[in-house]
Chains A and B, each alone.
Chain A
Amino acid sequence: MEDSRLARARENLQKQLGKFPQAKEVEVIADIRRGLHYEAILEEASQRAIDLIVIASLGQSGIAKYLIGSVARNVLKGSKCPVLLTK
């Protein structure tokens, strides 16, 4: 069951990247982590020495009454590098 979640995530990453032809002109590295969303994102950022995070202000839950979802908010709060929130 764990493996199928992982396989599905890999498939979805490929599918999402496939929507953007410009991805072929850029070096793209795909990663999957487990854990709490914002914690995993901040860990990845520090381990990869990321210098910019681009994150949607809302996610899957898409509760439109909020301007910024909890993941984006916590990433913004904990990040050591600049964060670009997209609409």
Chain B
Amino acid sequence: MLKPTKILVPTDFSEYSDRALRQALDIARQYGATVYILHVLREEMITLKSWVILQMHGR
């Protein structure tokens, strides 16, 4: 029988992830588990700052 102690909830702040978070919190409360809420920032291939630097050097 699964008895969670560490629950991970990834979130993108959407309504869907609200519902996932609510479920995770309910489960955590029931089992005395810890909730890890994670947001992932997408790694941009090129940041605006480095783009500006590239543009400046190009001239």
Residues of A participating in the B interface, judged by any CB pair closer than 8 Å: 1-2, 5-6, 9, 12-13, 15-17, 19-20, 22-23, 25-37, 40-41, 44-45, 48-60, 62, 71, 75, 82, 84, 86-87
CB nearest neighbor in B for A50: B8
Interface bracket on B: 35 or more
Distance in Å from the Cβ of A21 to the closest Cβ of chain B? 9
Distance in Å from the Cβ of A40 to the closest Cβ of chain B? 4
CB nearest neighbor in B for A23: B25
> Which of A19, A51, A62 makes the CB contact (< 8 A) with B16?
A62
Q: How many A-B residue pairs have CB under 8 A?
A: 153
Interface residue SS majority, chain A: mixed
State whether B9 touches A54 (Cβ < 8 A): yes
State whether B14 touches A26 (Cβ < 8 A): no
Query: Which residues in B have their C-beta under 8 angstroms from that of A22?
Result: 22, 25-26, 29
Question: In whole angstroms, how far apart are the Cα atoms of A14 and B6 in the complex?
Answer: 20
Query: Which residues in B have their C-beta under 8 angstroms from that of A1?
Result: 47-49
